[in-house]
Chain A
């Protein structure tokens, strides 16, 4: 059984990244020039913009790439059901009808382990996969065997995607072998579930570390690399994204395998979503604009997109209360 049959993802057409031997020569040759990366990131929004129907279409595409997320201590089944309902119907039906995209859904719903069962129930028949954050999220400092067990429990509970957190200390102490081994073990524990490796880039110190950690997680079999838990003080940024995306490109160039990318945290505006899509398109190509290779980890982004879509249709700026909350 593959998870792809349960979801709408076209993963059956894309060979999964099974990783490779740890290649330390490659890892250590990786460079990331912060100033240059920041300059590219700073000019990108000015270089790429999409207007009118194109903007609406791109925003609709962004919705299909959202991991609609709730990761709060006060999550309850009721809260999660509401979120799942929003994932099924992310935008008012009349708006989607007018856009000619009536069956739009979000890419996934992302919750803590205890909420998986509720989500499975709420998303029954929708094809929307459930992603669970795992491995002692967000710090990743609980006992290792419990972190592995948590993955197994979540998969058993019905999560099709597992968002693991790496041990930042392995990066900060330069213990690359340990990072590789940890990721390998997590990947194995996931089985058929897809694994997203959260690097917590805000805690890795340098973009060079981000680039090296990205590469190692891919070598160890990550299906996605993801910026942040959303709980660090700095989450997804364009420079970090550019660094990780370039690592994905290098890995693809070397192995032919496509690894996905998930920026998470801090992306709350429709315009930001378009910039991220343009970044993916320019650096990696259109293939990476599909939800099996690109996700936004976001909670408030959808609301802004809804307002923009209504504005697109009516010509009048919209208001939050006109759109159902998720």
Chain B
């Protein structure tokens, strides 16, 4: 076209980014890559091709790791770890700072290579992915510097296996690698097989930075390599990817003692209230569901619109969609690029084609590995597309009538990663944000991210946070590991009871003492062989009833910290009033004379968590926007807990108190050998204004009860100070509940650690400005 013709047509025309430097880098590397192990690239072996999805062109040949490669990488990391940790925070900070600087110096090279490999628009790689990755390394250089002073009770986890997805290859690498290295861990990273190139370029950068041997190792390959890494001698697995694979990893690591964090899928709601700035909300949708072709775990993929404005919103949205420019991802003037791989394209296409409901609006897409921006309106919560993650540029929508209905629909999902709320009413926004089941809530914005703010989900969107102080918990463990509690077993005997009146120790469910569903009890003998009483043997139906009661007591989570403190003090008061009786009971069950000390310890614990109930503050994060990012400590929800066999009273109180102090409901399974302190404690709870269903106490065989509790889909977290790790962790995949299994005696667990287990950090982003 001549200038004159363009003058008439006013088309945008091509604005391609020059890819020659990135292609030259590939050529310099021989277009073939091995793994990066112990600060050297291994010789390229058999493998697979890295392709540009926009053209189908082969960019390089990559090596499929063998078991031996994975073992070598883990061994290198294992050897390097103690030295890396011992270097100290300041020395590690210097390396991380160098990595940040080097990323910055090669920013455009990374961006172009990412776009070539992944198909995302160069604008996104250049303006979002790479700057956020750089920021993550700067931020965590600071964390390394501060670790000794600010986290004196934490130590590195050890060797971390990290598996990252193909949607944000470099950014997810940064999110995983930066905190791990900062905290003194070493890493074996496996990038996704579709998108390994920027990880290999990053390895090049690490070499330039002089990062010591074995601190960061990279192995390439498909899911089989991920499995090898999961099963290797690592201390932790950090995974970002699909919920399906996350489940497999949870199962594979069950009972191995490996720490695990999972950042999984989502079907995040995007709520537009009738007083919203509709044009801005629609522009937000562009950033929510058409960002990175919708291949974003936290994509606002479920549009919920106030019924009164729905038609207007849809009309304007369709007009906006028609203005999206799709095509060559290297074009600087492109909004939507290529889908990462033809397999993903087929998956998106199949899901949309299978839908027969609602009305579908699509713009057009170029030939090749592209999927057009799509809006499907008129769906209902019962529609598959409203529940299942599509992981493509497909927005589904339904309407709501009231704020409470908006919340109800928003939370009607297995997932809980992110949520977006648009309203000009600050009351409504701040009322809704805490009610949404999500790890991240954006008010009048979407997809805001920063290294200082925690990112991660609830429910089947996974567990653990990335970013902020809370993110460091995933890469540290308590510095001290006290001796595990000694094994104890129940006494047996044959002597008559000393108490002339028979007493029945029942279960405590929903504020009522109830007989066990199965109708079985078992005797409890004192050390001297005297029959102390009988306890109920709870079964799976009692578990069901207890969790049901926990669910009915959800209002407890909305109470104030002050109220919960008052109730905890009241429990302490009532326990103290009957201190002698409890001390005698403990002595009779366990023998010895330590009963009074245990009662005192339990009262101390109740005071401790009463004190914390209104002091476990959240934070306002220093994120680089005009606005606030609030980190709110929210209760995990319903917790099932296996109490330790030892310390039958202090162990019980040590789990119940932090749980309810933070607003959780809990079902506790009492010490199996010494259950009567727990059943006596029922009367304390009954007289202390604890609302029905907030605390349930079961007695019975933990081995029988653990799988039912761990697999129950309405339990949000399971704690065990009574072993059964393999069973619990394997069964937890039903709803991907958080699990915490420790053999540390309850008296040695720091309250802050307890409270961290009892809460989830929700990050609420509120940009402001008038």
Taking Cβ atoms with an 8 Å cutoff, the residues of A that contact B are 31-40, 43, 46-54, 56-58, 60-61, 99-101, 206-208, 246, 249, 253, 277-278, 281-282, 286, 289
Contact = CB atoms under 8 A, between A and B. Distances in A.
B2 A100 contact: yes
B3 A47 contact: no
Contacts of A39: 283, 445, 767
A53 B626 contact: no
A38 B332 CA distance: 21
Nearest to A206: B770
Interface in B436-473: 444-445
22 contacts: A32-B277, A33-B422, A33-B444, A34-B769, A35-B625, A35-B768, A35-B769, A36-B280, A36-B445, A37-B277, A39-B445, A40-B283, A48-B12, A50-B333, A53-B1, A54-B12, A57-B4, A60-B3, A99-B3, A101-B4, A101-B7, A207-B770
B333 A40 contact: no
Interface string B733-770: 00000000000000000000000000000000001111
Given A34-B769, A35-B767, A35-B769, A289 B277 contact: no
A49 B15 contact: yes
A47 B277 contact: no
Interface string B1-40: 1111111001111110000000000000000000000000
B424 interface: yes
Interface in B94-147: 123, 126-127
A255 B770 CA distance: 29
A53 B445 contact: no
A34 B770 contact: yes
Contact of B280 (A37, A56, A286): A37
A50 B770 CA distance: 32
Given A37-B280, A246-B279, 10 more contacts: A32-B277, A35-B769, A52-B13, A53-B2, A54-B11, A57-B10, A58-B6, A60-B3, A206-B770, A286-B10
Contacts of A47: 123, 333, 335
A319 to B, nearest CB: 22
B627 A35 contact: yes
Nearest to B7: A57
B375 to A, nearest CB: 18
Contacts of A208: 770
B642 to A, nearest CB: 47
Given A31-B275, A206-B770, A46 B123 contact: yes
Nearest to A98: B3
Nearest to A249: B279
Nearest to B448: A39
B246 to A, nearest CB: 32
Contacts of A100: 2-4
Which one of A36, A46, A56 has the highest number of Cβ atoms from chain B below 10 Å of its Cβ? A36
Interface string B279-318: 1110110000000000000000000000000000001000
B323 interface: yes
Nearest to B315: A253
Contacts of A38: 769
B420 to A, nearest CB: 11
A54 B332 CA distance: 14
B278 interface: yes
B278 A57 contact: no
Contacts of B126: 46
A57 B280 CA distance: 31
Contacts of A58: 6, 10
A176 B672 CA distance: 75
B276 interface: yes
Contacts of B281: 36
Nearest to B332: A49
A143 to B, nearest CB: 34
Contacts of A61: 7, 10
Contacts of B627: 35
A282 to B, nearest CB: 6
